[in-house]
A and B are shown apart, each in its own frame.
Chain A
Amino acid sequence: MSLVIGAFTIGLILSLLSMGVWISFRVLRYTDITVDGTITLGASVVAILMVNGWSPWTSILMATLAGAVAGGVTGVLHTRFKIQELLSGILVMTALYSINLRVMGRSNVPLLNVGSIAAPVARLLQGAAGEGDTLMLLGWRVPLQDVAMLLTMLVITAGVAWLIKAFLLTHLGTALRATGENAQMVRAQGINHQRMQVLGLCGANALVGLSGALLAQYQGFADVQMGIGMIVWGLASIIIGEALVGKLTPGLALTGTIMGTLLFRLLIAIALRWGLNPNDLKLVTALFVFAALVLPDRIKMLGGMLKRPGRREC
């Protein structure tokens, strides 16, 4: 049971990352690799601020803003200085590695004896259940702290997802979506598509920063290596989500992205339980994304080849 709770909690936290990647990759159609640096940035900012006595919420807010700035820099490199989109992300990601080390002062900052954003929920649960440090859940005895963390993340992720959905249906939000679809059309409607790209990258990376901040809180440390391959995890989650619910409307796509992340984390937890070497995790994920990107077309081609003899008859 605690395996499931853990997988769901991490899944919810990484849903924010996936939604960020979804905004850059699917909405803006911009392959933004800044993400790998931004998630660590979010974690480092939150860790260093909390160690220095800031409140969890203010720290998280600062981490989110830091993420937005990082995304903005990538956007400006691309739009103002005409650096290729992938390269501008790589530049910022690389720079962020040093910046993250600077922020933390070392490569790993543990978060011991600091406040937790789940504390209010934990207190609430304790009041309701009143039976110490554990809680009965569907017949399983689970640590109350874990449940509190899960609920907190659920509220945050659901709230943020709702905000994004609402935003994408505003004038500005529709302009942002159209930017990824058809930049020419967007310009013809009087929208500065470059400004939209920067705005979108700010938003996307703010989400990733937030995700990193929550992840650091959950796992109790920030580490300079923690961001490697995160964009691929995000992509894998998006692809699973699209297979589950499609991508017809922003609301559906966001729901799918969250569901995809949860399922993906659950699969990983199960695979690790069954003895998958954690070192192989990123290889497996990369292979999965490769297959998911390539297979649909291959299957279509195969289907076309199988159908052809039938067509000749008529």
Chain B
Amino acid sequence: MLTSTAGTGGKSMMLEIRGLRKTFFPDTPNEVRALQGIDLDLSEGCFAAIIGTNGSGKSTLLNAVAGSFLPDQGTVRIDGVEITRWEEYRRAQYVGRVFQNPFAGTAAGMTIAENIGLAMRRGLSRGLRPALPRQVRDAMADRVRTLGMGLENRLDNPIGTLSGGQRQALTLLMATWLKPRLLLLDEHTAALDPKSAAQVAALTREIIEREHLTALMVTHSMQQAVQLPNRIIMMHQGRIVRQYSESEMARVRVPELLAAFDRIRRREQLDPAVSDILGRQYL
């Protein structure tokens, strides 16, 4: 079977997924078996990309980890803590997120500083102290300066006045302001123009390397998949069909990934009815 678990031995796992299943609209004509038994381990400091065709379940997998919905079966652990039944907001103490939609990660009508102020207490209690005292603002400006976008001078502007690329860069900065145990990136460059996408991709790599983050990134871009992460997870029809480990990553190029997709697709031309019949006959 191609569904595999990367056995990295006794090393501590930051993310452990076991037998995860999710069916949307069960027992209706619109039934979608989005996740059909996913096993996945990410060790600390691992940056993995999930690739796959439309409807392969890659975003669903990410959302299952983020807690957008509860799975039908299986477990999710982050740093050894089982969070399978936790509500989305509660998972935020471990998980930083960047969304595909650049507008989804920030509150448009609030200032840059206020948005960052919210991220500075991700997963922490929020009391009645002023969110933005002077010394916090200075520290904020220093860190925003590292983006090299000149936004440190615009901290009091509504974040809605920024471009998609700038907002996405800020969302990334916010998601990692407090070091998350797991960073989830959901096609976070897909909605940007090529230049901004490259900028945000470079920033992603830089932050993940600097902070030694464990990250899971869904991407449509094969280029990004071979350049950024140190592991590739290929999904198809709700299953993990192929993984490229760190040692393979050194050699893998875009054409190889495309060829792998092709093989899967060709196999599917027999599929699914034929393979079902074959399966029944031979198993």
Contact = CB atoms under 8 A, between A and B. Distances in A.
Query: How would you classify the secondary structure of chain A's contact residues: helix, strand, loop or mixed?
Result: helix
Interface in A144-202: 166-167, 169-175, 177-178, 181-182, 184-193
Interface in B37-86: 66
B132 A189 contact: no
B104 interface: yes
Nearest to A179: B107
B208 to A, nearest CB: 18
Contacts of A177: 107, 109-110, 114
Nearest to A167: B128
A169 B122 CA distance: 17
A182 B117 CA distance: 15
B109 A190 contact: no
Contact of A172 (B87, B89, B109, B128): B128
Interface string B99-138: 1000111111110001101110111101111111000000
Interface stretch (B90-98, B140-148, B259-267): B90-98
A175 B110 contact: no
Contacts of B175: 188
A190 B92 contact: yes
B128 A188 contact: no
A192 B132 contact: no
Contact of A190 (B108, B124, B131): B124
Contacts of A170: 126-131
Contacts of A190: 89-90, 92-93, 121-124
Given A178-B118, A190-B122, A185 B107 contact: yes
Contacts of A173: 131
Interface residues of A, number: 24
Nearest to A171: B126
Nearest to B107: A181
A193 B174 CA distance: 18
A192 B122 CA distance: 11
Contacts of B106: 182, 185
A189 B118 contact: yes
Chain A CB within 10 Å — which of B87, B92, B93, B175 has the most?
Answer: B92
Contacts of A189: 92, 118-119, 121-123, 174
A178 B107 contact: yes
A170 to B, nearest CB: 5
Contacts of B128: 167, 170-172
Contact of A169 (B88, B92, B132): B132
Nearest to B104: A184
Contacts of A174: 110, 114, 117-118, 131
A248 B109 CA distance: 8
Nearest to B109: A181
B159 to A, nearest CB: 10
Contacts of A186: 89, 107, 118
Nearest to B177: A189
A156 to B, nearest CB: 21
Nearest to B113: A174
B96 to A, nearest CB: 8
Contacts of A187: 88-89, 92
Contacts of A182: 103-104, 106-108
Contact of A191 (B89, B105, B130, B131): B89
Contacts of B117: 171, 174
Given A187-B89, A189-B119, A190-B92, A171 B107 contact: no
Contacts of B114: 174, 177-178
A172 B127 contact: yes
Contact of B126 (A166, A175, A185, A193): A175
A191 B119 CA distance: 10
Given A172-B128, A173-B131, 10 more contacts: A167-B128, A170-B128, A170-B130, A172-B127, A184-B99, A185-B118, A188-B88, A190-B122, A190-B124, A193-B89
24 contacts: A170-B127, A171-B121, A171-B129, A174-B110, A177-B109, A178-B118, A181-B109, A182-B106, A182-B107, A182-B108, A184-B99, A185-B106, A185-B107, A188-B66, A188-B92, A188-B96, A188-B99, A189-B92, A189-B121, A189-B122, A189-B174, A190-B89, A190-B123, A193-B89
